[in-house]
Homo-oligomer: A and B are copies of this chain.
């Protein structure tokens, strides 16, 4: 056991390996099976083999289980935009960010599919998802501003990138012969160039 795990144990109380992952998995299963509204935190904790107290160490409520990944995704996209080569055009910096986001989701495909089913079935969750996407667009716009990109180009590149990411996600989860999400992102970026070339 490494020192960091020992410290973790001391700070957090009883240490449970991958508690966040187990709670998320249990919650998604129950949300799909019974519906989001009908599921209680007690049931989630029980299915994960953990206590409610442990649940509330990781999540403020049962909705948070569905959205903690959004913060991670946003952090990854913003960091990728900021770290893109200095000479990269705004849309290229954004493209590299959504490709990185696609790879993150690829690693979590099963969870992403379940999460999408839950959100699609609940209007309030859909609204929250739209808000998260809007905030993601603002965060990427801000990262582009920090790179010195002028306002209009920053907004357009960021929002267009979010659009590509959203459409790529929707295709990725429904395609009968699943491809890597990144391949779909790249196909859409090429198609976007063709479509807007007609302006």
Contact = CB atoms under 8 A, between A and B. Distances in A.
Residue from the set A127, A189, A196 with the largest chain B CB neighbour count within 10 Å = A196
A85 to B, nearest CB: 13
A121 B19 CA distance: 38
Nearest to A133: B130
Nearest to A127: B127
Main SS class of interface, A? helix
Contacts of A160: 160, 163, 192, 195-196
Interface in A137-183: 152-153, 155-157, 159-160, 163-164, 166-167, 171
A199 interface: yes
A51 to B, nearest CB: 33
A198 to B, nearest CB: 4
A197 interface: yes
A14 interface: no
A188 B196 CA distance: 12
A42 interface: no
B130 A95 contact: no
Contact of A167 (B92, B156, B192, B198): B156
5 contacts: A90-B198, A91-B198, A95-B199, A127-B128, A156-B192
Given A156-B164, A156-B188, A157-B195, 5 more contacts: A89-B195, A91-B199, A153-B194, A160-B192, A192-B196
